[in-house]
Amino acid sequence: MTGGSWLCLLAPLGGTIVITLCGTRIPRVAAAWIATTSCFVAFGGAVWAFLALRGERCVHLHSLVCTQPPHLTTAWTWLQSGTFHVGLTLLVDQLSTVMMLIVSGVGGLIVLYSIGYMEGDPEERRYFAYIAFFVFSMLLLVEGGNLLLLLVGWGLVGLSSYLLIGFWHERPSAVQAAKKAFVMNAFGDATMALAFFIVIAHTHSLSFGSFGYAGFSQTARDLIALGLLGGAAAKSAQIPLQTWLPDAMEGPTPVSALIHAATMVTAGVYLIARTHPIFEQARTIELIAAGTGALTLLVAGLIALVQVDIKRVIAYSTMSQIGYMFLGAGVGAYANGMFHLLTHAFFKALLFMTAGLAIHALGGEQDIRKMRGIGRLMPFTKWCFLAGALALVGIPPFSGFFSKDSIVASAAALGTWYGWIFWVCGIVGAFLTGLYTFRLWFLVFPGEPSPFVREHHHRHGRWEGSLTMLVPVGVLAVLATVGGWLQWSPRWTPFTDWLAPAARTLPAAVPTNTQEYYTSAATVIAGLVGIVIAWAIYAERRRLAVPGAPFWRRTLEEKFYFDLLYDRIFYTPAVWISGALRREFEEPVVLQTGTDLGETTLATGSVVRRIQTGFLRTYVLFLAAGAAGVVLAFLIAK
């Protein structure tokens, strides 16, 4: 079991090191296959760990639910200071194996896909080294056996995300986007680190078990939970730290699929599920997390309605779906949040990759206003995209139906006023999901191909893309369709049962059967209404924007003015302060000091050097005078 987890963690790291060390001595294709193989080896390790954990006998201690102690494996003590010590420890439990399987499995498929997508890029090797490094960082994040390793993984995924968003570094917009993502993530890292300091101050330890410590004051609990929530919101692009995600679409499409849909952005949900004991002790903060999710899912869904870049629409949809996961984890239904994370990894990676196929075939065009009718030329892409879209909207029997509905039902199960607000948000969100997803679908795929598509469409090889691109898309299309059948609450809940030892759903968030049924009906109907309206607006009349009020349309196109606001609050004052410091301090003081020092030295030197006459006798005279002076001094002293 522990062997599996180490294999899973170290295989991608090995891939990165091999690619980096070999450099240009190996062909590009070899680098690509090394990265892919390392990810699939990691998947093998994850399966090994999963099967070993599954094969263990259940211990029924106090309740009917399996309670297994988590398996920790420590390579060595990494850091020691007095009684505080942190080891390089991996944790294998139900939660981490699920994440290992998702990260390495979906990650492996996406790396395989990028072999075709990145073909011909002059810096392919660098790309594959980065992406294998990302998979390693993400695995470290989910396998880390204590909070410090979690934070290390957290920081490393931020770094590799930065590197991959800015992969095309000759584009200024990509570099800007990479910086933005890094700064926003660093903010979250900082709040998390602050929370950890509070934990250390109270418990002198950073193990996950330290959350059970009884001596925390309520303020300390709230602050710790708030710090963790800050980190989770930054990584998962939740309001108010969401603005980096749409810009991150500047990276290559497989990167968007891997980092900004399937794995990294969902780390926030994992964090909440992993550290749920502290969130449960700070219930207010946990509900704030749920509220953040509810707000984000609405705002992102609305903004997605007016975007014209195919990847940005999907990016906003990602934010919206992570909003659902936050809602689920926030109300205490961790397993439901994690289950949506799983199905979302399938269908969102699928959507990004089919979009990537279309973008690839059109030579890099991402504007949906120009892509009309591409489905006629790319039927495979079209049907796969449709599977992903239906899963996203949550139409049975596609996977999103099973995961999204139970989250909304858990909100209803709370029974309080905010529970019902969350419930309404979830239903409205389902409607918006149907609307923006099928706006995208009707604008891009069906109908007669537009002149632009006819002119620019070109095939790569015999099929719609290279085989390495089509195989992962096909696999994910199947998974997006059937992946949800793992669980159909309340009748059939193996996933929730599996996660129960690691993250048990709060009793308050377990819905009754009635709640499950009418919530399911409501979300499906809302989604269908969204689809029909999208059909009426975009398929029939081929309109491009949201009809009606120009004020709202403008607001949506400006993404609710978040970017503008941050510009005014942070960027402009920072620029002003640095300008003032430069004018008032650096130029007069720092720069001038250097000049003054030099000039004074020169002036002194030009005076003093007159002593050096070059005549021997002068020197002798000074010598004699000095000696006479010494003698005189002695005589006087006597």
Partner 1 sequence: MLGPDTAWYLAVAAVLFGIGALGVLIRRNTLVVLLSLELMLNAGNLALIALSRHFHNGAGQIFALSVMAVAASEVCVGLGLVVALNRRRLSLDVDSLSELRG
Contact positions toward partner 1, by CB under 8 A? 609-617, 620-621, 624
| Phi (first) and psi of residue 70, to 5 degrees | -65, 150
Nearer to partner 1, 549 or 607 (CB): 607
Nearer to partner 1, 21 or 621 (CB): 621
In the complex, the smallest distance separating the C-beta of residue 618 from partner 1, rounded to whole angstroms, is 9
Q: Contact at 8 Å (CB) between 395 and 472?
A: no
**Short-list 229, 223, 262, CA closest to 329:** 229
| DSSP state at residue 611 | G
How far apart CA 37 and CA 376 sit, in angstroms, is 34
SS (H, E, C) 578-600: HHHHHHHHHHHHHHHHHHHHHHH
In the complex, the smallest distance separating the C-beta of residue 619 from partner 1, rounded to whole angstroms, is 9
CA Rg, the chain, in Å?
30
Nearer to partner 1, 62 or 617 (CB): 617
Whose tokens are 């003698």? That residue is: 631
Q: Contact at 8 Å (CB) between 248 and 181?
A: yes
How far apart CA 352 and CA 440 sit, in angstroms, is 12
Nearer to partner 1, 551 or 615 (CB): 615
Exposed / middle / buried, residue 55 (Cβ in 10 Å: 0-12, 13-18, 19+) = exposed
Whose tokens are 């498929």? That residue is: 109
In the complex, the smallest distance separating the C-beta of residue 622 from partner 1, rounded to whole angstroms, is 11
In the complex, the smallest distance separating the C-beta of residue 634 from partner 1, rounded to whole angstroms, is 16
How far apart CA 239 and CA 219 sit, in angstroms, is 23
Nearer to partner 1, 565 or 620 (CB): 620
In the complex, the smallest distance separating the C-beta of residue 605 from partner 1, rounded to whole angstroms, is 9
Nearer to partner 1, 492 or 619 (CB): 619
How far the first Cα of the chain sits from its last, in Å, is: 92
Nearer to partner 1, 120 or 614 (CB): 614
In the complex, the smallest distance separating the C-beta of residue 603 from partner 1, rounded to whole angstroms, is 15
**Short-list 21, 40, 271, 319, CA closest to 157:** 271
**Short-list 305, 154, 179, 175, CA closest to 236:** 154
Nearer to partner 1, 576 or 622 (CB): 622
In the complex, the smallest distance separating the C-beta of residue 633 from partner 1, rounded to whole angstroms, is 18
In the complex, the smallest distance separating the C-beta of residue 623 from partner 1, rounded to whole angstroms, is 9
Write the DSSP string, 400-442: HHHHHHHHHHHHHHH-SHHHHHHHHHHHHHHHHHHHHHHHHHH
In the complex, the smallest distance separating the C-beta of residue 632 from partner 1, rounded to whole angstroms, is 15
Nearer to partner 1, 29 or 624 (CB): 624
Nearer to partner 1, 63 or 606 (CB): 606
Exposed / middle / buried, residue 424 (Cβ in 10 Å: 0-12, 13-18, 19+) = middle
Q: Contact at 8 Å (CB) between 130 and 163?
A: yes
In the complex, the smallest distance separating the C-beta of residue 621 from partner 1, rounded to whole angstroms, is 6
| DSSP state at residue 506 | P
